[in-house]
Amino acid sequence: MNGLSRKLDSEAVDPTWSQETEGTIARVISRELGPAVSVAEAKCATTICRAKLSHPGSPRIPDDQLVKFTLHRDSLGTMELQLDTRAEGTTTLYLLRRE
């Protein structure tokens, strides 16, 4: 996961795609994971995005909510998804763009 974070931080930004995708991330997370999960950060470069989610009322996002999110991701559904759930109360999503 640290390698994905470093890649994002060092990669050039595709301004149009990143702005559109960051907005989609915020909208889809809110809709599919509900009000108990908030997007603390959504950042995209050219081929990768990172969304840091906060859910202080629960150490982990319930599995059924994560499944719902993976099935109903709108345009994010074309991206590979990786989850970092090592820290309680936060989840980091990495979304990798496929071309």
* Tally of domains within the chain: 1
Model pLDDT, residue 99: 67
Read off the pLDDT band of 1 (50, 70, 90).
confident
Model pLDDT, residue 51: 97
User: What's the whole-model pTM score?
Assistant: 0.91
Give the Cα separation of 1 and 29 in Å (integer). 20
pLDDT tens, position by position, 30-85: 999 989 999 999 999 999 999 999 999 999 999 999 998 999 999 899 999 999 99
Model pLDDT, residue 92: 96
Choice between 42 and 1, residue whose per-residue pLDDT is larger? 42
Q: What is the CATH number of the domain that holds 83?
A: 3.30.980.10
Q: 88 lies in which domain range?
A: 2-96
90-96 and 48-54 as β-strands: parallel, antiparallel, unpaired? antiparallel
Determine the number of helices (DSSP H) and then strands (DSSP E) in the chain: 3, 4
